[in-house]
Amino acid sequence: MPKRTGEKYKVIIEAAIRVIADNGYHGSQVSKIAGEAGVAEGTIYLYFENKEDILISIFRNKLGEFISAAPQKLNSSENAFEQLAYLIYLHFYRLQNNPKLAHVLQIELRQSDKSIRKGIAEVIKGYYRLIENIVVDGIHRGYFLPGLDPKITRKVIFGSMDEVATCWVLSTRQYNLLTLTEQVYSALARSLSRDEEYTSFPPGLKLVLQ
Amino acid sequence: MPKRTGEKYKVIIEAAIRVIADNGYHGSQVSKIAGEAGVAEGTIYLYFENKEDILISIFRNKLGEFISAAPQKLNSSENAFEQLAYLIYLHFYRLQNNPKLAHVLQIELRQSDKSIRKGIAEVIKGYYRLIENIVVDGIHRGYFLPGLDPKITRKVIFGSMDEVATCWVLSTRQYNLLTLTEQVYSALARSLSRDEEYTSFPPGLKLVLQ
Amino acid sequence: MPKRTGEKYKVIIEAAIRVIADNGYHGSQVSKIAGEAGVAEGTIYLYFENKEDILISIFRNKLGEFISAAPQKLNSSENAFEQLAYLIYLHFYRLQNNPKLAHVLQIELRQSDKSIRKGIAEVIKGYYRLIENIVVDGIHRGYFLPGLDPKITRKVIFGSMDEVATCWVLSTRQYNLLTLTEQVYSALARSLSRDEEYTSFPPGLKLVLQ
Amino acid sequence: MPKRTGEKYKVIIEAAIRVIADNGYHGSQVSKIAGEAGVAEGTIYLYFENKEDILISIFRNKLGEFISAAPQKLNSSENAFEQLAYLIYLHFYRLQNNPKLAHVLQIELRQSDKSIRKGIAEVIKGYYRLIENIVVDGIHRGYFLPGLDPKITRKVIFGSMDEVATCWVLSTRQYNLLTLTEQVYSALARSLSRDEEYTSFPPGLKLVLQ
DNA sequence: CATGAATGAGGATTCATTCAT
DNA sequence: TATGAATGAATCCTCATTCAT
């Protein structure tokens, strides 16, 4: 029933990110979001089913952008370790450059009710698949250890990035998240192979980070 | 002001775990918790500051039990890898054997407001320290790589365990969490040392898991 | 200000009858009526003052049709009892053949607010006069008892027809309302005269009802 | 779930009658009713399921009182015509002496939604049965015409009383409803028997009405 | 210590109506 | 004439918390 498209749809989403980042989900009245977006309260409901739907839409929209943009970059290298390094870099880059979005994604989104989590679960599967693909391909092509369980490995990778990101947000971002890229990479890369030759941090990325 | 001790205090906490696990935090009215605990609504406020305080108390109480019980077990071995293996085992064991508590800890607790997270943050620092101690000691005693950053390593360890546990809860616990102990251990252990000799899973724990 | 004429005016009224019969007055959003009529929401307000005005217009329009059509038929006989029989027949015939309109008239119209009832009151006076004329003429011409109070008698006649009709609608029209014509007539006719000669049901109408 | 008993229950019902009579159902905010009753808004919901439930409760309560009080009075006479006369008298007496309640019963209650009508339907059946019993007994004992259909007759009786009462309320009660008792009785009594001996208005009641 | 009846602030959502096109 | 996107007022209900008993 709601439109879910158009200029105002985007305006409301961006406004919601700002408001929710500042006030938390439960502290973000629909009226406040409408005010920030410069539309009437009722207008919200022309574009979103309800308040929950705003939160889910933020997630779907922003993670969607990320997932659709990622593969091109990841496939620029055939080296699975470089892909992993790039994944972590992109994950952190996105968050570092969208602090308010980061707060919503890492903190507020987890506050949500069962129905919200359902909406999120479907979207995040795409990201999970992305990571698992890197793992499975890396194993096939001989970069990663053949005995790795792709699901567990995906959870270790995602869990590590996520925990680091959450801590960064909770620290009120007193340091640059990107500076942790190499260290997280090292820890994870070592899990994936015994071969030191491969697991060193990609020099190209190192330059970018400086 | 609140008592925070006594038989009824514990009764209410246990009741709250059951109610919140079944209904979610926002679906758990104080009246429902009181009913489950067999006390009057007003009685709740003799033992807890407010509703949030119940959630924090669950966390403080249960994680407290865990943290205070852990060191004895962890120190039964001087081998840092065995300590890591044991940490993961204990982490998963606790959750596997308290499914309702697991749900509250992994899901409901994350739904809470800023003030709750503050209460939690203080308690969880103890657990973080526990993990960091294992890492730092492991490095000092030559088990782990000398170049490891203890904070990052702690986040990788905790993040991995946490992500695996959350996925397990969200799967409605269709498998035994403990069976993942060895796999998570292997992934993490490989991060911590290049020396295969040390990193194999402790045989003693292997027996326990069977 | 509103036009109150034209093809679309009628289209909207007919659509409103269908929508209100199916959803009730409070469940019939202006948008739903517009959709059913195949016009834009704003168009409604070119023909009607507001939502209430639609309901009143249904009443005015449909009862108007009825009242203007009735006299010709009623005057086809000079026998006051035959006129009464015919009145009841026509009242029931109309409703039986317009089930949705019947629902709106008997049920939804009564749900309305003070202002609506005012609009209705004016229109229904015409129908009241029609019935009172039959009574007064019937008395004058010696058919009905001379002592009858026309107002009370009108209320008894209208109240009886109305109650029977409302029960019929609420029964979801599980029987044919017309089959009750004779019985209602008998009850009412007996009130109006002591003379059995006159009060028997008109044979001509009996044939029609078969 | 709601209590539906106690002093406050009655206080709220009486307050609701006053407020709804003055403002109409849709114009009677719960807060207004609470204010009139001298209780907090939330208190309403300790005694009533929701706003609709207040309206239904008024009906159930007040009609209940009436129905339970009526039989004793009606059975004071074995003469079916006297019972009918008494029924009309009681019906009008009640309304005449509770003008606000009369307004709510005759007007506001009819505005209500499907769910309310359902709640009412069950209660009013008791009153319908009361009337039908008078009719059926009257026929059995030889007072009323043997060919009468009890259901139709009940509808004629109730419909007549109801229409007269509604007109009285809509006239803003500019006359005394009780003065119409005899006329309504006469009209109805004549429907029920050909025997003039029986159908004259009970002298005892005549005295009461003066 | 314990109770539970009473409180009342707080907010998402609907929908009749408008008006720029 | 006709449109339909935008408006924003209006309100029922929940539930954490209090306090007289």
Angle between the N-to-C axes of helices A7-23 and A30-37, in degrees from 0 to 180, rounded to the nearest 10: 120
Is the alpha carbon torsion for A97, A99, A104, A105 positive or negative?
positive
How many CB atoms within 10 Å of residue C209?
A: 14
Residue where the block lists tokens 């059951």:
B18
> Running DSSP on this structure, what letter comes out for residue D147?
T
Mean pLDDT of B69-95: 88
Least confident of C57-61, C107-111, D162-166: C107-111
Q: Decide: CB of C2 under 7 A of nucleic strand F.
A: no
Nucleotides of F strand lying within 7 Å of any protein CB atom? 1-20
Contacts of C124 (CB under 8 A, 6+ apart): C59, C63
Q: Is-contact A21 A100, C-beta < 8 A?
A: yes
- The amino acid at residue C103 is H
C111 touches chain D (CB under 8 A): yes
Residues of chain A with C-beta less than 8 angstroms from the C-beta of B170: 117, 121
The two three-digit tokens of residue A16, written as one number: 């919601």
Alpha helices in C79-149 (DSSP H): 80-97, 99-106, 114-140
**B43: Cβ–Cβ under 8 A, 6 or more apart, which residues?**
B8, B12, B34
Interacting residues of B178 by C-beta distance below 8 A, sequence separation 6+? B89, B92, B93, B96, B209
What are the residue ranges spanned by the domains of chain B?
1-49, 52-209
Rg of chain D on CA atoms, in Å: 19
Listed in sequence order, the residues at least 6 apart from C69 whose beta carbon sits closer than 8 Å to its beta carbon are none
Task: Find chain A residues with C-beta within 8 A of B156's C-beta.
Answer: 156, 160, 163-164, 184, 187-188
- Between helix A150-170 and helix A80-97 the angle, nearest 10°, is 30
**Cβ neighbours of D163 in C, within 8 Å:** 155-156, 158-160, 162-163
Look at the alpha carbons of C120, C122, C123, C129 in this order and tell me if their dihedral is positive or negative. positive
Neighbours of chain A (3+ CB pairs under 8 A): B
CB pairs under 8 A between C and D: 93
For residue B125, give both structure tokens.
Answer: 């620092």
Q: Residue C202's CB: how many other CB atoms inside 10 A?
A: 19
* Contact assignment for B163 to A156 by CB distance below 8 Å: yes
Q: Is A164 on the interface with B (CB under 8 A)?
A: yes
**DSSP-assigned states of every residue in D10-21:** HHHHHHHHHHHH
D42 strand E contact, CB < 7 Å: yes
CB-based contacts of B179, cutoff 8 Å, min separation 6 = B209
The Cα D49–Cα D52 span in angstroms is: 8
Helix axes A99-106, A150-170, angle to 10 degrees: 120
Q: How confident is the model at residue B112 (pLDDT cuts 50, 70, 90)?
A: low
* CB A42 under 7 Å to nucleic chain F: yes
Domain A1-49 in this protein, CATH class: mainly alpha
Asked if residue D116 lies in contact with residue D52, where contact means CB atoms within 8 angstroms, the answer is: yes
- Pick from C161, C191, C194, C201 the residue to mutate for testing the D interface (most D CBs within 10 Å): C191
D56 Cβ contact list (under 8 Å, min separation 6): D116, D119, D120, D123
- Rounded mean pLDDT, D205-209: 87
DSSP string, A44-100: HHHH-SSHHHHHHHHHHHHHHHHHHHHHHHHTT---HHHHHHHHHHHHHHHHHH-HH
Written as one string, the DSSP assignment of A114-175 is HHHHHHHHHHHHHHHHHHHHHHHHHHHTTSS-TT--HHHHHHHHHHHHHHHHHHHHHTTS-S
Burial class (CB in 10 A: 0-12, 13-18, 19+), D128: middle
- Which of the residues D25, D28, D55, D160 would you substitute to probe the C interface, choosing the one with the greatest number of C C-beta atoms within 10 Å? D160
Entry field: residues in chain B: 210
Judged on CB neighbours under 10 Å (0-12, 13-18, 19+), C194 is exposed
Residue D112 pLDDT: 65
CB D18 under 7 Å to nucleic chain E: no
Does the CB of A183 have a partner CB in chain B at under 8 Å?
yes
In this structure, are residues C89 and C181 in contact, taking their beta carbons and an 8 Å threshold? Answer: yes
The answer regarding whether domain B52-209 maps to CATH 2.40.50.140 reads no
Whose C1' is closest to the CA of B43: which nucleotide?
A: E2
Binding-face residues of B in 133-152 toward A, CB within 8 A: 148-149, 152
| Of residues B203, B124, B122, B207, the one with CA closest to residue B162 | B124
Instruction: Tell if the CB–CB gap between B155 and A160 is shorter than 8 Å.
Output: yes
| Shortest Cα distance, chain A CAs vs residue B108, angstroms | 8
Comparing CA positions, the residue from A66, A154, A55, A33 lying closest to residue A103 is: A55
b/e map of D168-197 (b: 16 or more CB within 10 Å)? bbeeeeeeebbebbbbbbbbbbbbbbeeee
The candidate with the shortest Cα–Cα distance to B169, out of B92, B117, B116, B113, is B92
Report CA(C4)–C1'(F1) in Å, whole number.
Answer: 14
pLDDT of residue D77: 84
C174 burial type by CB count under 10 A (0-12 exposed, 13-18 middle, 19+ buried): exposed
Distance in angstroms (rounded) separating the CA atoms of residues A149 and A135: 9
Question: Does A194 sit within 8 Å of B190, measured CB to CB?
Answer: yes
- Which among C117, C159, C190 has CB closest to D160? C159
Distance of CA A35 to the CA centre of its chain: 27
Give the closest residue to D185 by CA, choosing from D169, D195, D197, D200.
Answer: D200
- A137 burial via Cβ count (<10 Å: 0-12, 13-18, 19+): middle
Average pLDDT over residues D10-18: 97
- What are the pLDDT digits (tens) for C113-150? 777 888 888 889 999 999 999 999 999 999 999 989 99
* Nearest residue to F19 via alpha carbon and C1': B42
What integer is the mean pLDDT of D54-78? 87
d(CA C91, CA C205): 14
Q: Which residue of D has its CA nearest to C118?
A: D170
Q: How far in angstroms lies nucleotide F8's C1' from the CA of residue C34?
A: 22
Report the half-sphere exposure of D80 (CA within 13 A, side-chain side): 24
Contact A54, A41 (CB under 8 A): no
Do D24 and C114 count as a contact with CB atoms less than 8 A apart? yes
Length of chain D counted residue by residue: 210
Stretches where chain A sits below pLDDT 70 are: 112
Q: Cβ of D30 < 7 Å from strand F?
A: yes
Unique residue bearing structure tokens 């509703």: B51
CA neighbor of B114 nearest in space, from A56, A25, A173? A25
Q: Kindly state the average pLDDT of the residues C26-48.
A: 96
The answer, yes or no, to whether residue D92 has pLDDT greater than 90, is yes
pLDDT tens track for C94-105: 999 999 999 999
- Arithmetic mean of pLDDT over chain B: 90
Lowest mean pLDDT among A171-185, B49-63, C165-179, D189-203: D189-203
Chain C residue numbers with beta carbons less than 8 Å from the beta carbon of D159 are 159-164
The answer to whether the C-beta of C147 is closer than 7 A to strand E is: no
Chain centre to alpha carbon of residue D90: 9
**C-alpha–C-alpha distance, residues C19 and C13, integer Å:** 10
- Asked if D92 contacts D152 with a C-beta cutoff of 8 angstroms, the reply is no
Please report the pLDDT score of residue C16 as a whole number: 97
Q: Which two tokens stand for residue C183?
A: 């019985």
In A 30-59, which Cβ lie closer than 7 Å to strand E?
30-31, 41-42, 44-45, 50-52
Q: Enumerate the H helices of B75-149 as residue ranges.
A: 80-97, 99-106, 114-140
Binary contact (D187, C161; C-beta < 8 A): no
- What the block records as the tokens of D16 is 């609701």
Single out the residue of B33, B22, B26, B17 nearest to residue A26, CA to CA.
Answer: B26
How many Å lie between the alpha carbon of D7 and the closest alpha carbon of chain C?
31
Distance to chain C for D87, nearest Cα, Å: 16
Give yes or no for residue B82 having a pLDDT over 80: yes
pLDDT band with cut points at 50, 70 and 90 for residue B35: very high
Beta-carbon separation of A110 and B111 below 8 A: yes
Q: Is C163 within 8 Å of D156 when comparing Cβ atoms?
A: yes
CA–C1' gap, A46 and F5, in angstroms: 9
D188 to chain C: closest CA residue: C191
Cβ contacts (< 8 Å) between B161 and chain A: which residues? 159
- Strand, helix or coil at B82? helix
First to last CA, chain D: 48
* pLDDT interval class at C112 (50, 70, 90): low
Distance from CA of B206 to the nearest CA of A (A): 18
- To the nearest whole Å, the CA of A89 is away from the closest chain B CA by 15
* Dist. CA C111–CA B195, nearest whole Å: 83
pLDDT digits (tens, 9 = 90+) for D102-133: 999 988 887 767 788 888 888 899 999 999 99
Q: What's the confidence (pLDDT) of residue B13?
A: 97
Cα dihedral: D178, D180, D183, D189 (round 10): -50
D123 touches strand E (CB under 7 A): no
Of all nucleotides, the one whose C1′ comes closest to residue B6's CA is: E1
What residue is closest to E2 (Cα–C1')? B43
Residue listed under structure tokens 């019906």: D91
Give the closest-approach CA distance of A6 to chain B in angstroms: 31
Contacts of B4 (CB under 8 A, 6+ apart): B47, B48, B57
Q: Which residue, chain included where needed, has tokens 């005057």?
A: C75
Any C CB within 8 A of D24 CB: yes
Unique residue bearing structure tokens 């309702």: B100
Q: Does the pLDDT at position B181 exceed 80?
A: yes
Measured from the CB, is A46 under 7 Å from any atom of strand F? yes
| Residue B199 pLDDT | 81
Is A45's CB less than 7 Å from nucleic acid strand F?
A: yes
User: How far does the CA of C30 sit from the C1' of F14, in Å?
Assistant: 30
pLDDT tops 70 at residue C56: yes
The answer to whether D39 CB sits below 7 Å from nucleic acid chain E is yes
Q: Check residue D207 and give its pLDDT.
A: 87
